[in-house]
Structure 1
Amino acid sequence: MATTSSTRVAILTFDGFNELDSFIALGLINRLRAEGWSAEITSPSAQVTSMNGVTVTAQQPLEFANEADAVIFGSGIYTRAIAENSALLDRLQIDPLRQLIGGQCSGTLLMARLGLLGTMPACTDLTTKPWLVEAGVLVLDEPFHARGPVATSGGCMSSVYLAAWLMARKAGTEAAEKALHYVAPVGQKQAYVEQVMGVVKPFLSTPA
């Protein structure tokens, strides 16, 4: 169900993060600022450095994820170690009963460790797949999958699907399509929007 109230989105971003995961979602979701949306880089430390050496300042501390309306688990090269860091994960109290939750590539491993996937099958990248299988998760050969308030995506560029799903769930398909249209390549805008929304629309029937 669409809503016009403010929506705060925590994009969980750890050291070694994949820039495409965090920044694409950040840029797309913040296209809805006029509608009261705000997506912010949320990290366990004041600064984090990406897998390619880009250092950014966190906009919110890790605990912001516990109160945000939606949470995106980004991926990175150190995710497996983070998944074994119980002291770090204990700082997260994510609740699918009141939040929309998405995971990108290895971010889905963190979701599994936190018990957020349940029996839901998940999408992820090829590197993370065996780790998820080891954790007892059925891994799909698909770019995007969602069940209720929880979604996963696999492959760096599938971050677009995750952002589009989140926007459509909370702000409606028209708002999501408008944001996608703005960033889509010139001369391909309509086809791009249709392609992205064609992937996520089958998963929008369950109310948030």
Structure 2
Amino acid sequence: MRAAIVTFDGFNELDSFIALGLMNRLRPSGWTVEIAGPSQRLTSMNGVTIETQQPLEFANEADIVLFGSGIYTRAIAENSALLDRLQLDPVRQLIGAQCSGTLLLARLGLLADIPACTDLTTKPWVVEAGVRVVDAPFHARGPIATAGGCMASQYLATWAMLRRAGVDATSKALHYVAPVGEKEAYVDKLIDTVRAFIPPDELLL
């Protein structure tokens, strides 16, 4: 299973790194989760510079694609030359985004009539793009999911893992990183929130 965490300059570290860390707990099961971006080096909103692991186009090949947010997302959403490098396919890919990343899904035409989550700052721009924003941390329909709030990246990661690895593997991965003394409650909360958006016949055990 290959997953791309689509990341741009000015990115929010919580968005990209939490999903990366959680999903890579499944590496022993054959998962590879990598940061994909438009340039070799990216600098976060707090001045952390990283080297991307894959080019932006890796997202076109990946099984799972998650978009984080950042301080330049609105400008990126207007950069057609950049977005044209992305040719995503919800028929064969799981695609998710959080906060201002939701605006990119809207610009890519992936939301249609699907209600979406985002952060409070981005909400007016997403509404302007013709998307109905819901006041919730997570929402999914079929292969498309959105989340609102920096820490909501854990919901996107949980959703991707549940859809592709199943309840047992996801629970074990989340249990490892959950706070000591709160592990069962933490794991149950994440899985229960996300499972509500996955049809029972599509949920792997």
TM-score with structure 1 length normalisation?
0.96
Secondary structure of 1:91 counterpart: coil
Q: Which residues in structure 2 correspond to 1:1-208 (within 5 Å)?
A: 7-205=1-199, 207=202
| Structure 1 outlier segments of 4+, above 2 Å | none
| Amino acid corresponding to residue 164 of structure 1 in structure 2 | T
Any conservation in 2 of the 1:148–1:207 contact (CA below 8 Å)? no
1:133-159 per-residue CA deviation (whole Å, 9 max, x = no partner) reads 101100000000000000000000010
Give structure 1 stretches of 5+ with no counterpart: 1-6
Aligned residues: 202
Displacement of 1:173: 1.1
TM-score of the pair, normalised by structure 2:
0.97
Equivalents in 2 of 1:207, 1:133: separation in Å? 30
- 1:42 maps to a residue whose letter is A
| Mapped partners of 2:84, 2:102: distance in 1 | 17
CA distance in 1, matches of 2:16, 2:10: 11
Secondary structure in structure 2 of the residue aligned to 1:203: coil
Structure 2: gaps spanning 5 or more residues:
none
